[in-house]
Structure 1
C-alpha cells in the first residue's frame, strides 16, 4: 500500500507542476507603425540551437502570406546586410542600436524576436508541447510594440490516470494495469507524433511555431505601407542616416542609451486538450 501511495503522490505532483507561471513584458511607447519591416535573427534563449533558425523562417514565411500592412524585406537580403556588418547571430543584436540596424538594413521597421521556450515533455499521464516568443517592433529607434505569445498544447490522460489511481486505492490489479497500459500507449503515441513531425516539418514543434506566428500576424499593429506620405518620410530618414554615417557622424544620441521601459503583467495563451 505504501508503494501505491507514493505512486499516487507522483501523479499529483505532475499535475501540480503544470500550473502556469506569471509572465512579464515591456510596455511600449505608442507611435506610428513602420512601413518596411526586417525580420531579424532570433535571440534564442533555449537550448535548441536549430529551433531558433526554424522559428524565424516560420515567422518570415507567415508574413510573406499575410504581410499585415508591411513591406517585408527578403530574409536573405537582411542576412547578407547583417553579415557585411559583422552580425551573424541574434544574440549580437543587443550590442547594436536599433537606429544603426535601420541604417544598415535600409528599413524603418525592425522585428526583434526572443525565443523563450521550446518544450516537448512526455510523462505517463501528462504531455505538453509549448512554444513562446516575445516580439518587439521598432520604428527606427523607437520601441512601439511588445508582445509575448505562448502556445501550449496540453494533453491530460484523464481516463488512464483515474484507472491507475482507482486501481491503486482499491487494490484492483486489473484496473491498475489497464491504466498503466493506457499511459504507456499514450507515451508511444506522442513520441511517434514527435518523430513524424520532425521528419515532415524539420522540427517537433513546427505546428506550435506556426500557431504562434499566426497569432503574431493577427495582433501586431498594422503597418504603414499604404501611407505614401509616411513612406516618403521614412525613405528620406534612411537617406539622411546613411549620409551621416558616410560622413563618419554619429547617429546614436545620448537619449537612446538611457531610455527606460516599464514591465507589465500579461496572460499566457494555453490550449488544453482532454482525452
Structure 2
C-alpha cells in the first residue's frame, strides 16, 4: 500500500507542476512604425539549435504572406549583409546598436526575436507542446513595441490518471493496470505524432511555431510602407547615416546611451494580460 501512495503522490506532483503560469506583456514607448523591416537572426535561449533557424524561417514566411504594411527585406540579403559585418549568430547582435544595424542593412525597421522556449514533453498522464518567443520592434534606434508570445498545447490523460489513482487507492490491481496501460498507449501516440511532425515539417513543434507567428502578425503594429512622406524621410536618414560612416564619423550619440538606460527601465515594467 505504501508503494501505491508514493505512486499517487508522483501523479499529483505532475499535475501541480503543470499549473499554467501568468503571461505578461511589456510596455514600450509609442512611436511611428517602420516601413522596411528586416527579420534578424534568432537569439536562441533554448538548446535546440535547428529549432532557432526553423522558427526564424516560419516567421519570415508568414510575413511574406501577410506583410502587415511592411516592406519585408529578403532574409538572404539580411544574412549576407550581416555576414559581411561579421555577424553570423543572433547572440552577436547585442554587440551592435540598432542604429548601426539599420545602417548596415539599409532598413528603418528591425525585428529582434528571442526564442525562449521550445518544449515537447511527454509524461505518463500529461503531454505538452509549447513555443515561446519575445519580439522587439525597432525604428532605427527607437524601441517601439515588445511582445512575448507563447503557444502551448496540452493533453491530460484524465481517464487513465483517474483509473490509476482509483486502483492504487482501492487496491484494485486490474483498474491500476488498465490506467497504466492506457498511459503507455498515450505516450506511444504522442511520440508517433512527434516523429510524424518532424517528417512532414522538419521540426516536431512546427505547428506551434506557425501559431506563434500568426499571432505575431495579428498584433504587431501596422507598418508605414504606404506613408510615402515617411518612407522618403527614412531613406534620407539611411543615406545620412551611411555618409557619416563613409566619413569615419560615429552614428552613436550620447543621447542613445541615455535612451538605452530608459529602455532597460521600461522592460522591467510588466503588466499582466487580463484576457
Q: Shorter-normalised TM-score: what interval? A: over 0.9
Task: Report the alpha carbon displacement of residue 169 of structure 1 after superposing the two structures with TM.
Answer: 1.0
Structure 2, unmatched stretches of 5+, are none
Query: Which of 235, 240, 265 is the matching residue for 2:270?
Result: 265
Alpha-carbon contact 1:119-1:130 (below 8 Å) kept: yes
Once residues 197 and 22 of structure 2 are traced to their aligned partners in structure 1, the CA distance between those partners, rounded to angstroms, is 30
Matched ranges for 1:228-247 at <5 A: 228-247=228-247
- Quote how far apart the aligned CAs of 1:235 are: 0.5
| CA distance in structure 1 between the aligned counterparts of 2:115 and 2:216, rounded to whole angstroms | 13
Within 1, Cα distance between the matches of 2:47 and 2:86? 24
- Deviations 1:78-102 (Å, cap 9, x if unpaired)? 0000000110000000010000000
1:59 — aligned with what?
Answer: 59
> Partner residue of 2:166?
166
Residue 176 of structure 2 is matched in structure 1 by 176
Give runs of aligned pairs for residues 1-275 of structure 1, distance below 5 A.
Answer: 1-22=1-22, 26-258=26-258, 259=260, 260-261=262-263, 262=266, 263-266=268-271
**Structure 1 runs not aligned, ≥5 long:** 271-275
CA displacement 1:82-139 (0-9 Å, x = unmatched): 0001100000000100000000000000000000000000000000000000000000
1:10-33 deviation digits (Å, cap 9, x = unpaired): 000001111233555642110000
Write the distance in 2 (CA, Å) between the matches of 1:28 and 1:268.
Answer: 15
1:174 and 1:256 map into 2 onto residues whose CA distance is: 69
Partner SS for 1:143:
strand
Aligned length: 270
DSSP-derived class of the 1:116 partner? strand
- TM-score (structure 1 length as normaliser): 0.95
Return the offset for 1:191: 0.5
- Tell me, in whole angstroms, the C-alpha distance in 1 between the residues paired with 2:273 and 2:95: 29
Give the distance between the partners of 1:184 and 1:5, measured in 2 at CA.
Answer: 20
- 8 A contact 2:106–2:238 mirrored in 1: yes
Q: Once superposed, what is the RMSD of the aligned Cα atoms?
A: 1.5
Report runs of 4+ in structure 1 exceeding 6 Å deviation.
none
Give the 3-state SS of the residue equivalent to 1:145 in structure 2.
Answer: strand
